Chains A and B, each alone.
Chain A
Amino acid sequence: MSEYLAQLLDISKSFPGVKALDHVNFDLRPGEVHALVGENGSGKSTLVKILSGVYTKDEGTILINGEETVFPNPRAAQDKGICIIHQELNLCRHLSIAENMYLGREPKKILFLDQKKQIEDAQAILDRLNVDLDPTTRVGDLTVSKQQMVEIGKAISTNARIIIMDEPTSALTVKEIDELFTIINVLKREGHGIIYISHRLEELAAIADRVTIIRDGQHIATLNYEDTDQEAIIRYMVGRELKEKFPRVPTNPGKTIFEVKNLSAGRAVKDVSFSVREGEILGIAGLMGAGRTETIRAIFGADPKDGGQVFLHGKEISIHRPLEAIETGVFCVPEDRKKDGLCISMPVYQNVTLPNMEMVTDRGVVNTAKEVAMASATINELSIRTPGVGQTVKNLSGGNQQKVVVGKWLVKPAKVILFDEPTRGIDVGAKVDIYNLMNELKKQGIGVVFVSSELPEILGMADRIVVMCEGRVTADLDASEANQEVIMQYATQYM
């Protein structure tokens, strides 16, 4: 028996125009959490996709329990006890928890499905994880975090020894993250090895035993977590000192730019009012499901409003469709990049120009040279890592896709920009770039609304913080009065 569950030796992988991995080494012991960190596009997802059979390596060796192995496809990796939980969850929403866990390997009695055994087995696994869920619940009715628990349950039901989590916490709230960590600790005790990818470096302190840093597809260091700290990791990641994590600039708030009065929409938004002043960033905090995204969508005209008024520079505006919002200068960077933000099968430049077509067309005819120029400027401004403007967005790393979503709204002049979780999946260095961009907008007198579930960044960047709970505004705080405890208290006021 080898000391390692898995060893990846000298792994290289190229995509057309990109060397994603360049002789990278990585290993995993039983009962440990080995964190994998690096900038956007540094090759983290590629490395774990090679270990889980999604991609095949160009060079190098994979040892599983000391034996050399090749994975022609994901199935082969699964048979060797390797399971990957992608950031985009792969569950069937209309099936139950139990059905999802045993999809494709349902227990059978002669020819028929053994429903009872399937439910019992699923229950046993949920119990083992200490998750309080009924296995017959439809997965579509669960929150993202619970769906993730189901994915983990599915992983251990296949007897996976190696569990890979690619950015599992980017869509979770603080409390849900705690639940996830509890489960990870259970898995550790049971001797599973866990590979953990995240851009939330502060999480590593709670769970990581070792950490490997890669940069530009190269292995930079592997350290015991106790021998290092966040600053050192960041230094390894970006190759330089990061001066400030939250580059706040002083404010001198002027008159009100944008105001929302008594907005209600659907069941999730009830009588919401807030305003944004010139020269400030307005943060909106709250737990997942507090109605922040629904509020933003209703303002932007993505969903219908049931009541309330919206004012821009003191004049009431009526927005029924995103088209009208954009015409009046109100833009929205949506929360879910795959669903709402990107045409994933189209090239980078066409995604950047989509909301800005009038700037790159002459009487309806597209001027490709102008398009390329516009996209190149965005790529430079946000340091989007791509072999060219023509690369299909699908082939970008998660964080770089997110930058495209943000970038497409920074081209034409705005009056108000509603950012919904703009830094999701973005690395530490690039987050600072986005914060600086928001600062720049605020200096230009553009209203900045900043929704985020990461309290540190709200506290670090917002000048004023509106807290929401159960569809209502529960507090409107000055940055100086706000801290983690106060916000959490208002965020759970009605719970």
Chain B
Amino acid sequence: MNQTAVEPKIRTGKKLSRQATQLISTAIALLALVVVFTLSNPNFISMMNILNILKQASPIIIIAIGQTFVLITAGIDLSIGSVIACSGIVAAICMRAGWPVLIAILIGLLFGVAVGAINGLLIVYGKLPPFIATMGTMTTVRGLALFLTQGIPIGNLPKGFTQIGTQRTWNIPNQVFIMVILALIFGFILAKTKTGRYTYAMGSNYEATRLSGVNVNRTLITVYMFSGFLAAWAGMIMTANVISAAPTAGDGYEMDAVASSVIGGASTLGGEGLIPGTVLGALVIATLRNGLNLSGASPFIQKIIIGIVIITAVFIDRFRRND
């Protein structure tokens, strides 16, 4: 997350790095939305509503972080939505079998990591394009979720678990804490560690990175494991929040994750993306949804508007880049 703090010390010859301008413009867009919605409905800016937005945004932010890693490598992870559902179900089954909550969560998270590892292995050793590999696991894992539950949500979860999604600490929803911690950890990994650097390098030029002696196979598999891990966290939060594990949960969330990353400056061509940008991008989408809801816009209209916002954001970025 410190990338922008470090960058100015390294003379680029430019006034501001591209990444910094991207962050600033996403922040301005978010601010503009807040102003517009506040003017149209003063309740929008209430503490309660802001916390509400953050709470709603938390799972999207978490999965978007994983998707950002994947996008930077010039890949895509379509299995995220299915992993959200199935990891929640796996944890729920463990809990209903009477296992301790912590162990159940751990197994749910491991499930996500395992799906990520399978994605990575299919891409690295099976030589499948990421789109195809993760589309395959998307369907398979969704099928698994339906099979395990026979299509019926699993309820009756222990309180020790559901409080992750329903309780507050210091008046702040618990999932917001989890989101912030994960964002800090993975923001640090991307901006400040070897793994993060290799992630960017692979997306910028895979062959040159391989010829530089980077273990590209391992790094790529790791990146998909990150994505699976984060999707499983979103699964835990969402399951806890609605107090039941539904096999249809998270449907279509992978696209929200792509949208957040792209609004925040990630490129689907690889090599570009920042965690702070992605967090802002997810907040843009969450704010838009919330604000439109408050002003009574229908869900159909919301879809139209969000679609247009995504296209505009990418378009503006392309335009500026050609400059």
Q: Contacts A342-B205, A343-B201 hold; do A355 and B14 have CB atoms under 8 A apart?
A: no
Binds B, one of A93-101, A253-261, A389-397: A389-397
Q: Contacts A345-B271, A345-B272 hold; do A388 and B194 have CB atoms under 8 A apart?
A: no
Q: Contacts A323-B215, A389-B10 hold; do A343 and B209 have CB atoms under 8 A apart?
A: yes
Is A364 a contact partner of B194 (Cβ separation < 8 A)? yes
Question: Across the interface, which residues of A come within 8 angstroms of B11, CB to CB?
Answer: 17, 387-390
Is B197 a contact partner of A350 (Cβ separation < 8 A)? yes
Question: Across the interface, which residues of A come within 8 angstroms of B195, CB to CB?
Answer: 364
Is A342 a contact partner of B12 (Cβ separation < 8 A)? no
Question: Across the interface, which residues of A come within 8 angstroms of B15, CB to CB?
Answer: 16
Is A350 a contact partner of B212 (Cβ separation < 8 A)? no
Is B13 a contact partner of A387 (Cβ separation < 8 A)? yes
A365 proximal to B (CB < 8 A): yes
Task: Give the shortest distance, in Å, between A388 (CB) and chain B (any CB).
Answer: 3
Q: Contacts A361-B194, A368-B10 hold; do A332 and B205 have CB atoms under 8 A apart?
A: no
Is A366 a contact partner of B208 (Cβ separation < 8 A)? no
Task: Give the shortest distance, in Å, between B129 (CB) and chain A (any CB).
Answer: 18
Is B13 a contact partner of A391 (Cβ separation < 8 A)? yes
How many chain A residues sit at the interface, stated as a range, is 35 or more
Q: Contacts A340-B208, A365-B193 hold; do A347 and B10 have CB atoms under 8 A apart?
A: yes
Question: Across the interface, which residues of A come within 8 angstroms of B6, CB to CB?
Answer: 368
Question: Across the interface, which residues of B come within 8 angstroms of A342, CB to CB?
Answer: 205, 208
Query: Contact partner of A387 among B12, B194, B198, B209, CB < 8 A?
Result: B12
Interface members, chain B 194-251 (any A CB < 8 Å)? 194-198, 200-201, 204-205, 207-215
A18 proximal to B (CB < 8 A): yes
Is A322 a contact partner of B210 (Cβ separation < 8 A)? yes
Task: Give the shortest distance, in Å, between A133 (CB) and chain B (any CB).
Answer: 30
Query: Contact partner of A347 among B12, B209, B214, B271, CB < 8 A?
Result: B12
B318 proximal to A (CB < 8 A): no
A242 proximal to B (CB < 8 A): no
Assembly CA distance A395 to B198 (angstroms): 21
Assembly CA distance A297 to B51 (angstroms): 56
Interface of A: prevailing SS? mixed
Q: Mark A345-381, 1 if CB is under 8 A from B, else 0.
A: 1110110001101000100111010001000000000
Query: Contact partner of A334 among B14, B198, B204, B211, CB < 8 A?
Result: B211
Query: Contact partner of B211 among A302, A345, A388, CB < 8 A?
Result: A302
Q: Contacts A366-B192, A391-B13 hold; do A355 and B213 have CB atoms under 8 A apart?
A: yes
A308 proximal to B (CB < 8 A): no
Question: Across the interface, which residues of A come within 8 angstroms of B13, CB to CB?
Answer: 15-18, 386-388, 390-391, 395
Chain A residue at minimal CB-CB distance from B206: A343
Is A357 a contact partner of B197 (Cβ separation < 8 A)? yes
Assembly CA distance A31 to B204 (angstroms): 43
Interface members, chain B 5-21 (any A CB < 8 Å)? 6-7, 9-15, 17
Is B10 a contact partner of A344 (Cβ separation < 8 A)? no
A341 proximal to B (CB < 8 A): yes
Chain B residue at minimal CB-CB distance from A387: B13
Chain B residue at minimal CB-CB distance from A375: B10
Question: Across the interface, which residues of A come within 8 angstroms of B271, CB to CB?
Answer: 343, 345-346
Assembly CA distance A366 to B272 (angstroms): 18
Is A354 a contact partner of B12 (Cβ separation < 8 A)? no
Assembly CA distance A395 to B18 (angstroms): 14
Question: Across the interface, which residues of B come within 8 angstroms of A109, CB to CB?
Answer: none
Chain A residue at minimal CB-CB distance from B10: A390
Question: Across the interface, which residues of B come within 8 angstroms of A325, CB to CB?
Answer: 213
Number of interface residues of B (CB under 8 A): 32
A408 proximal to B (CB < 8 A): yes
Task: Give the shortest distance, in Å, between A51 (CB) and chain B (any CB).
Answer: 21
Assembly CA distance A388 to B12 (angstroms): 5
Task: Give the shortest distance, in Å, between A15 (CB) and chain B (any CB).
Answer: 7
Task: Give the shortest distance, in Å, between B25 (CB) and chain A (any CB).
Answer: 19
Question: Across the interface, which residues of B come within 8 angstroms of A300, CB to CB?
Answer: 211
Question: Across the interface, which residues of B come within 8 angstroms of A15, CB to CB?
Answer: 13
Interface centre among B14, B207, B213 (most CB of A within 10 A): B213
Interface centre among A354, A361, A387, A395 (most CB of B within 10 A): A354
Is B193 a contact partner of A350 (Cβ separation < 8 A)? no
Interface centre among A332, A334, A346 (most CB of B within 10 A): A346
Task: Give the shortest distance, in Å, between B79 (CB) and chain A (any CB).
Answer: 27
A448 proximal to B (CB < 8 A): no
A326 proximal to B (CB < 8 A): yes
Assembly CA distance A346 to B193 (angstroms): 16
Task: Give the shortest distance, in Å, between A396 (CB) and chain B (any CB).
Answer: 11
Query: Contact partner of B214 among A17, A323, A332, CB < 8 A?
Result: A323
Q: Contacts A323-B215, A346-B201, A364-B194 hold; do A16 and B14 have CB atoms under 8 A apart?
A: yes
A175 proximal to B (CB < 8 A): no
Q: Mark A133-176, 1 if CB is under 8 A from B, else 0.
A: 00000000000000000000000000000000000000000000
Chain B residue at minimal CB-CB distance from A368: B6
Is A344 a contact partner of B207 (Cβ separation < 8 A)? no
Chain A residue at minimal CB-CB distance from B3: A368
Question: Across the interface, which residues of A come within 8 angstroms of B196, CB to CB?
Answer: 366
Q: Contacts A345-B272, A388-B10 hold; do A339 and B208 have CB atoms under 8 A apart?
A: yes
Task: Give the shortest distance, in Å, between B239 (CB) and chain A (any CB).
Answer: 32
Question: Across the interface, which residues of B come within 8 angstroms of A17, CB to CB?
Answer: 11-14
Is B205 a contact partner of A344 (Cβ separation < 8 A)? yes
Task: Give the shortest distance, in Å, between B183 (CB) and chain A (any CB).
Answer: 18
Q: Mark B260-274, 1 if CB is under 8 A from A, else 0.
A: 000000000001100
Q: Contacts A364-B194, A390-B10 hold; do A322 and B212 have CB atoms under 8 A apart?
A: yes
Query: Contact partner of B207 among A321, A339, A366, A386, CB < 8 A?
Result: A339
Q: Contacts A322-B210, A342-B205, A355-B212 hold; do A390 and B12 have CB atoms under 8 A apart?
A: yes
Question: Across the interface, which residues of B come within 8 angstroms of A323, CB to CB?
Answer: 213-215
Task: Give the shortest distance, in Å, between B212 (CB) and chain A (any CB).
Answer: 4
Interface members, chain A 288-320 (any B CB < 8 Å)? 300, 302
Task: Give the shortest distance, in Å, between A283 (CB) and chain B (any CB).
Answer: 22
Question: Across the interface, which residues of A come within 8 angstroms of B207, CB to CB?
Answer: 339-340
Is A322 a contact partner of B204 (Cβ separation < 8 A)? no
Interface members, chain B 75-129 (any A CB < 8 Å)? none
Is B201 a contact partner of A354 (Cβ separation < 8 A)? yes
Is A343 a contact partner of B10 (Cβ separation < 8 A)? no
9 closest Cβ pairs, A-B complex = A17-B13, A388-B11, A387-B13, A390-B10, A326-B213, A343-B204, A390-B12, A355-B212, A16-B13
With contacts A18-B13, A340-B208, A354-B214 known, what are 11 further pairs, Cβ within 8 A? A17-B12, A323-B215, A326-B213, A344-B204, A346-B271, A349-B10, A350-B200, A354-B212, A355-B213, A366-B197, A391-B13
Q: What are 15 inter-chain pairs, A to B, with CB distance below 8 A?
A: A16-B14, A17-B11, A17-B14, A321-B210, A326-B212, A342-B205, A343-B208, A343-B271, A357-B198, A365-B194, A372-B10, A389-B10, A390-B10, A391-B12, A395-B13
